[in-house]
A = this chain, B = another copy of it.
Amino acid sequence: MPVVRQSKAVNEPPAQNTKSPFPDAAQRKAAREAKREAVLLAAVRMFNERGFHATSLDDVALSLGVSKPTIYHYLGNKDQVLLECVSIGLAQLQQAVEEARARPGAGIDRLRYFLERYAQVNMDDFGRCVIRTGEELLVPASAASFRAKKREIDDALRSLIDEGVADGTITAPDPRLLAFTLAGALNWPARWFDPAGPMTREEAAHGMVDVLLHGFAPRS
């Protein structure tokens, strides 16, 4: 047996700092994933800017310098592209929920933290897409999954409110209506926020939550 061949199995592979033109399996998988994500990012930006129906997959492909079947290769059909985009946004929101849950402090503090993160996600590409995507755009099966995930976020918001009411740090005559009001205020930046404008996402989120916390009537 050729000893040299065997040594390949027991030695560490040589460090690959300089990327070789012969990528290994892990690298190839990563490259594929990177392409997939590039397609999603290009798509979500065009969806947000021009609307889902006004964006053809040919447009998306062209903006990436590839042809339409390439998109089908990575993502299936147009519905799946959209579903994937909103799923990414929803995952970001879900993460905000978990961070808020894991937080120490009174109900109002955890709610405040969640609301700011929620607003920030809604000013980003994928979060915007969650807000702007009506259920009528998806095929029924995808729409059901979309609705279910949104429902989870909403329930989490509802429980954060309830906890605050329970520990006396939140005033809410009608928690359900409060949840809708907060969500609406913090969803709306998906339409108006401009990253090139005068405020950062963080400033905008912070300022909006301040308004919601204290209202616009003078403190008595």
Contact = CB atoms under 8 A, between A and B. Distances in A.
A51 B172 CA distance: 34
Q: What is the interface of chain A mostly: helix, strand, loop, or mixed? A: helix
Contact of A217 (B161, B189, B192, B214): B214
Contact of A177 (B49, B172, B204): B204
Copies in the complex: 2
Nearest to A135: B51
Interface stretch (A7-15, A35-43, A178-186): A178-186
5 contacts: A111-B216, A132-B134, A178-B216, A213-B217, A214-B217
Contacts of A177: 199, 204, 207-208, 211
B51 A211 contact: no
Interface of A: 49-51, 53-54, 108, 111, 132, 134, 136-137, 161, 164, 168-174, 177-178, 180-189, 192, 199, 204, 207-208, 210-220
